[in-house]
Amino acid sequence: SFPGVPQFWDDNPVEGIPLPDPERTEQISVTLADNGRTAVAVPARPDARGAASVWDLGSGAILADLPLTNRASVVEFLADDRLLVAGPSSAALWQFGGTDLAADWVVETAFAAPPVVSADARSFATAESVRDGIRVSIFAHEDARLIGSFETASFQSWALAEAANFVVVTDGTRRGRVLDPVSGDTRAEFFHDLELARVLVAIDRVVAVDVQGEVLAWSLESERRTLAPTDAVHVGMAVNAASVSLSPDGTLASFVASDGSVSVSRLSDGYRLAVFDHGPGVVIESRVDPESGRVVSADATKIRSWRLPSADIIGHDFGELSAVAIDESGEFAVVGYRSGQVQLIRNLPQAVQNGP
């Protein structure tokens, strides 16, 4: 070759270049469908692409390998055969029965918050940053048909109700808002004594976790537009907001306590149905099955399944004790808790002997 003379090559070898078949990795993140029979595995490494592999857990067969064009930060099942896969700035809706791409889209910058799926898995929503806040768009699960879209102030945590009836958001303060899914108007506001770290939604309730791990539930059955801290039901104390999950029927909450135990409580009145000792290991997640008959707890190396009792309710879990008063006879006691709840204990000597 000569200096300054351009050179050209024909990059088309006659025999071709053999490429090895891609290999499956064991460094994966797994999402389980609510039916307990289907799971999807995606690469866990931040720089990995590859595919989202959908598995039938009963037969061990692969139902689909769905190509990933970006890092998958959100993987959620919708209905029976749809899968929502989202990255920092793009999302795709797959029908994995036939490996068909139902819809895909890319936002101009990045999602303001991860996409969320409704409690009944029949709709989902995205949050895109716009000039004056966030644009929320709600889609149907079949073909990503637009159901509603509105703009609202910025938020940190959010959830979509069953049948896309409403949207709930919190902005890192002590306040949360219940929004109309079409107009974005505020239907109701709920307040707490501490900042709210996460919000979830049941059929007729809003569930929030504050920065100290207290789990609270507000009923939305009334027409009241302002819900105070005293209107909330204290459900329990979680080690962190991420460990809290709701049963598919919206009646129970499961969460991990600071001692590693897993509790299951009713949202309606805060009664604790059961407490399970997961054993050694840092529990990272707990979940109630669709029939609310079992709870599953998991750490980095093992998964345990527990059968929920049908009776023998343990009782209220009011959280941390803050004050105790005993009458002069020693027969009665009044116990106060940090959550604001007050409990009257009758026949104190027998209660102490029998334990909680």
- Tell me the sheet residues that pair with 105: 91
pLDDT, tens digit only, all 356 positions of the chain: 556 666 666 666 666 666 555 566 677 888 878 776 788 888 877 666 678 888 888 888 888 888 877 778 889 988 878 889 888 888 888 887 665 677 777 777 789 999 999 988 899 999 999 888 999 999 998 888 899 999 999 999 999 999 999 999 999 999 999 999 999 999 999 999 999 999 999 988 999 999 999 999 999 988 889 999 999 999 999 998 988 999 888 899 999 988 888 899 999 999 888 888 887 777 778 888 777 688 888 887 887 888 887 434 444 555 566 778 888 787 777 777 665 566 677 665 554 444 44
Instruction: Please report, for the chain, how many H helices and E strands are present, in that order.
Output: 1, 32
Token digits of residue 57:
């857990």
Nearest to 197 by CA among 244, 234, 236: 244
Cα dist from 231 to 189, 197, 224, 251, 344, whole Å = 12, 19, 11, 18, 19
Token digits of residue 309:
């009792």
Nearest to 318 by CA among 218, 214, 230: 214
Maximum separation of any 2 CA atoms in the chain, in Å: 108
Cα four-point dihedral sign 260, 250, 167, 33: positive
Tell me if the pTM is above 0.85: no
Token digits of residue 252:
């129970």
